[in-house]
Amino acid sequence: MDVDIDPAPSWDGMGSPSRFWERVERGMSRIWDSIKHRAPAQRLLDPSESLEQGPAGSETYILRPEPTRSGRDHMITTSTQSPVMITPLQPRRLDVGMGIAVGMPGERDLMDRYPGRQHPDPLRRPESPYLSVAFSGRFSGSKLEDYGRRRAPRASSSVLPVSITKVDTLRASTALAKSKRRRELGTDLATEGSVKRSRLDFSDSGVAMPSALKVTKQTVTPQRRVTGASALHGRSQDEILADMARHPLFRDKLEMRGLADLWRAYEGCEQRDREYVESIRRAEDTLTRIRAASHIYRMSIEMAHDLSADGSAYLLDEGAYVDIGDDDHDDDYEGAAENAEILKTVENPVQPLSPMLYKAQMRVLKHWARDSTSRQVLVEHRSIPIHGHDLARLRPGKWLNDEVINFYIEVLKDRQSRLGDAAKVKCHFFSTFMYAKLRTPRGYDYTAVQRWTRKIDVFALDRVLIPINIQNSHWALGMVDMVAKTVEYFDSLGFEQPEMTADILQWVVDEAEHKKQITLYTNDWTVIHHGDSVPQQTNTSDCGVFLCKFMDYLSLGKEFNFGAQHMPYFRRRLAHELLVKRVG
Amino acid sequence: MDEKPAKPEGQAKAEGEDKQLNIKVKDSDGNEVQFKIKRTTPMSKLMSAYASRLGVDENTYRFNFDGNRISPSDTPDSLDMEDMDCIDAMVYQQGGH
């Protein structure tokens, strides 16, 4: 990039000073943003925070080394008599357009240039004692009268932000401390040791300096990169620079000068900066995606151990179905009866929300990772097969089918008979086809299901559970409570289906008439639609899982203590319970 | 599908053992198809015959007898079937919302 810096800047092409300043402000804020993106770990001062909150005892200026009339040197002046430390704020940013800055011409130059005008900075009134700092490649300080004796090596029109920090503490320090500091800084001191020279080093910035911006290379001790001012106040150079840009004085200085040259340099640099930032951002995006993927993978492996009852830990992302390959987990579920370890699904079967065992989760994830259209029969119970594609329906977001639910009903029946007389509630479970036979498109038909109970006396039981499929898109549960004489309806979408409860009640009446030769009076019976007082789904896929858990809890006589947030967990748990043909 | 008896005449059998059963298959719309099947013939034959009669895939229907699923390896004997018993051919169900 070749930037020709006009030594006699003008507002040509820049509109008015105020418009230029709008552009500068916009540009600067973009740069602050880009710096933030580049160094996210490092907190930057928000540009909206003002310098008034800057470090106490510091004045910050943007300095632009400027050829004096003699053409020999560059001057920076400050009126303070306190010891000051001059710090190049962003030496490495010069290549990326951070160096939008102007400097103060020497006091005399200034007053010569603006004859008859008062110095805009009250601190810099000519009558004030002042200190001028010559920029000579390295910063060094000098009284103005010393200035003539200090010669800059070469004229440089580089744009360089510099902070001048009053170091009040130094004023009281002893000569010993001063000399010690001199040694530390390795500086070539200006008069009275009051101004410390700071370092400028672009040699390791990795970017070739445009010739017009070339700064004389300095001899620096690299380990002193963190320069005095920032080290002193524990603030990063970025922060100080951000302060600087907000400072009203900075604007004053800029307005005093035409800035077309700086602007052009700045824009050229900014373009490069943008590309650089963009490339970093792209790389970081990639990295983020890799991290997310590995996080999900790790979560699928490790989550088994930290499941908690609050439900949050039950969530599992769809993306977690990583194929974990064939490992030592035994997936011969047909022989599961002999393998007590495989049979276990959860740590504590008595607790409905007990965390799943790690190995159990892994077996499920492993199956889910396989072909979701597989017709391979994974497990069969009472002639109901569970194929690969059936098990895949337990993956989050998928609809459950009759095979999964009827299979689960069979293992619930097993649990009932296992509990035997210990069962708190004695239940009969109909399959999902019962209601479909009872209520056909032609109407209610008791005879279609009359034989279904020929081996069962439903009136000797506590509850009869009737899963209901509604128009092949929804699952709900009807229940007959023989003790309370109620027909209840549980729907995870809160619907009410009076015609379905009426059918079920009619079935109870017909059953009593045909099996017991008893006439039931429907007035003795209560129909209860639970509506949304039972756990409700929050998506359009979980109703089958709700149906299964309604049946699970109701057949145990437990109160519902789950919600939509537990569904991913229940899906995994259901899948394992099908695979081992055992609930709880 | 009609299973023809292939047994030689005069062979002594317990009564009904070699008799063919008439089994009805009823779909969810109430349409019935009647089959003759031997007591010892696996139900898989009936299932595939029903599916091919209707021109659908064999896996389309779940066959239930008195509310219980029928396995292809079941026989009328193992299911304790009687003449003119009815099998329900149910289509798959699903639901999500």
What's the pLDDT tens digit per position in A177-210? 454 555 555 443 332 333 333 333 333 333 333 3
Which residues in chain B touch residue A431, judged by CB atoms under 8 angstroms apart?
64, 67-69
The phi, psi pair for B35, rounded to 5°, reads -125, 150
Q: For residue A184, what are the CA distances in angstroms to A88, A89, A162, A181, A234?
A: 17, 19, 20, 5, 18
CB atoms within 10 A of CB B30: 12
Indicate yes or no: CB of B96 within 8 angstroms of CB of A403.
no
pLDDT for B70: 92
Q: What are the percentages of helix, strand and coil residues in chain A, rounded to 5?
A: 45, 15, 40
Indicate yes or no: CB of B67 within 8 angstroms of CB of A473.
no
Q: Please give the Cα distance from A75 to A112 (Å, whole number).
A: 15
Tokens standing for residue A229: 């001012």
Contacts of A381 (CB under 8 A, 6+ apart): A407, A410, A411, A581
Contacts of A43 (CB under 8 A, 6+ apart): A236, A239
pLDDT for A26: 61
Interface test with A, best of B68, B69, B87 (most A CBs within 10 A): B69
Indicate yes or no: CB of A402 within 8 angstroms of CB of B90.
yes
Q: Is the minimum CB–CB distance between A575 and chain B shorter than 8 Å?
A: no
Q: For residue A265, what are the CA distances in angstroms to A4, A24, A246, B58?
A: 8, 12, 20, 77
Confidence class of residue A292 from pLDDT cuts 50, 70 and 90? low
pLDDT at B48 over 60: yes
Q: Where are the domains of chain B?
A: 20-91
Q: Is the minimum CB–CB distance between A254 and chain B shorter than 8 Å?
A: no
CB atoms within 10 A of CB A216: 16
Interface test with B, best of A380, A383, A409 (most B CBs within 10 A): A383
Which residues in chain A touch residue B94, judged by CB atoms under 8 angstroms apart?
393, 399-402, 469, 472-473, 544
pLDDT for A538: 86
Confidence class of residue A407 from pLDDT cuts 50, 70 and 90? very high
| Percent of chain B scoring above 70 in pLDDT | 80
Q: Please give the Cα distance from A468 to A478 (Å, whole number).
A: 7
Which residues in chain A touch residue B68, judged by CB atoms under 8 angstroms apart?
382-383, 431
Which residues in chain B touch residue A470, judged by CB atoms under 8 angstroms apart?
95
Q: What angle do CA A519, A524, A525 make, to 5 degrees?
A: 100
Q: Which of A18-22, A219-223, A446-450, B22-26 is the least confident region?
A: A219-223
pLDDT for A572: 87
Q: Which of A70-84, A333-347, A472-486 is the least confident region?
A: A70-84
Residue in chain B lying closest to A455 (CA): B66
Are A114 and A107 in contact by the 8 Å Cβ rule? The answer is no
Q: Please give the Cα distance from A561 to B43 (Å, whole number).
A: 43
Tell me how close the Cα of A540 comes to any Cα of chain B, in angstroms: 4
pLDDT at A582 over 60: yes
Selecting from A434, A451, A541 the residue whose C-beta is nearest the C-beta of B97 gives A541
The C-alpha R_g of chain A, in whole angstroms, comes to: 41
**Do strands B32-38 and B20-27 pair parallel, antiparallel, or not at all (unpaired)?**
antiparallel
Q: Please give the Cα distance from B97 to B75 (Å, whole number).
A: 38
Beta bridge partners of B44: none
pLDDT at A580 over 50: yes
Confidence class of residue A30 from pLDDT cuts 50, 70 and 90? low
Indicate yes or no: CB of A383 within 8 angstroms of CB of B74.
yes
**Do strands B20-27 and B85-91 pair parallel, antiparallel, or not at all (unpaired)?**
parallel
pLDDT in tens, A156-169: 333 333 333 333 33
pLDDT at A61 over 80: no
Selecting from B70, B71, B94 the residue whose C-beta is nearest the C-beta of A400 gives B94
Which residues in chain B touch residue A452, judged by CB atoms under 8 angstroms apart?
66-67
pLDDT at A228 over 70: no
pLDDT in tens, A84-126: 333 333 333 222 222 222 223 333 333 334 334 444 444 444 3
Are A233 and A55 in contact by the 8 Å Cβ rule? The answer is yes
Q: Which of residues 431 through 450 in chain A touch B, CB cutoff 8 A?
A: 431-434, 436-437, 440-442, 448-449
Which residues in chain B touch residue A406, judged by CB atoms under 8 angstroms apart?
69
pLDDT for A98: 23
pLDDT for A259: 52
Q: Please give the Cα distance from A89 to A236 (Å, whole number).
A: 9
Indicate yes or no: CB of B30 within 8 angstroms of CB of A433.
no
pLDDT in tens, A121-145: 444 443 322 223 333 222 333 322 2
Indicate yes or no: CB of A402 within 8 angstroms of CB of B74.
no
Are A86 and A227 in contact by the 8 Å Cβ rule? The answer is no
pLDDT at A444 over 80: yes
Q: Please give the Cα distance from A555 to A417 (Å, whole number).
A: 12
Q: Please give the Cα distance from B51 to B55 (Å, whole number).
A: 6
Interface size A-B, in CB pairs within 8 Å, comes to: 89
Q: Is the minimum CB–CB distance between A373 and chain B shorter than 8 Å?
A: no
The residue type at B86: C
pLDDT in tens, A514-528: 988 989 888 889 999
Nearest to A379 by CA among A406, A407, A359, A346: A407
Tell me how close the Cα of B14 comes to any Cα of chain A, in angstroms: 27
pLDDT in tens, A490-514: 999 988 889 999 999 999 999 999 9
pLDDT for A217: 33
Q: What angle do CA A85, A179, A241 make, to 5 degrees?
A: 15
pLDDT at A390 over 60: yes
Selecting from B62, B66, B67 the residue whose C-beta is nearest the C-beta of A402 gives B62
Nearest to A279 by CA among A75, A123, A96: A96
CA A259 from centre of chain: 41
Q: What are the percentages of helix, strand and coil residues in chain B, rounded to 5?
A: 15, 35, 50
**Mean pLDDT calculated for residue range A562-578:** 88
Nearest to A260 by CA among A460, A481, A3, A37: A3
**Mean pLDDT calculated for residue range A310-337:** 42
Q: What is the CATH class of B20-91?
A: alpha beta
**Mean pLDDT calculated for residue range A200-228:** 34
**Do strands A377-381 and A384-387 pair parallel, antiparallel, or not at all (unpaired)?**
antiparallel
pTM: 0.53
Tokens standing for residue B32: 């019935």
Note whether ipTM > 0.90 here: no
CATH number belonging to domain A370-580:
3.40.395.10
The phi, psi pair for B14, rounded to 5°, reads -65, 150
Nearest to A464 by CA among A492, A484, A493: A484
Q: Please give the Cα distance from B33 to B15 (Å, whole number).
A: 26
CA atoms A438, A442, A443, A448: torsion sign: negative
Are A463 and A479 in contact by the 8 Å Cβ rule? The answer is yes
Interface test with B, best of A381, A432, A433 (most B CBs within 10 A): A433
Tell me how close the Cα of A533 comes to any Cα of chain B, in angstroms: 17
Are A291 and A35 in contact by the 8 Å Cβ rule? The answer is no
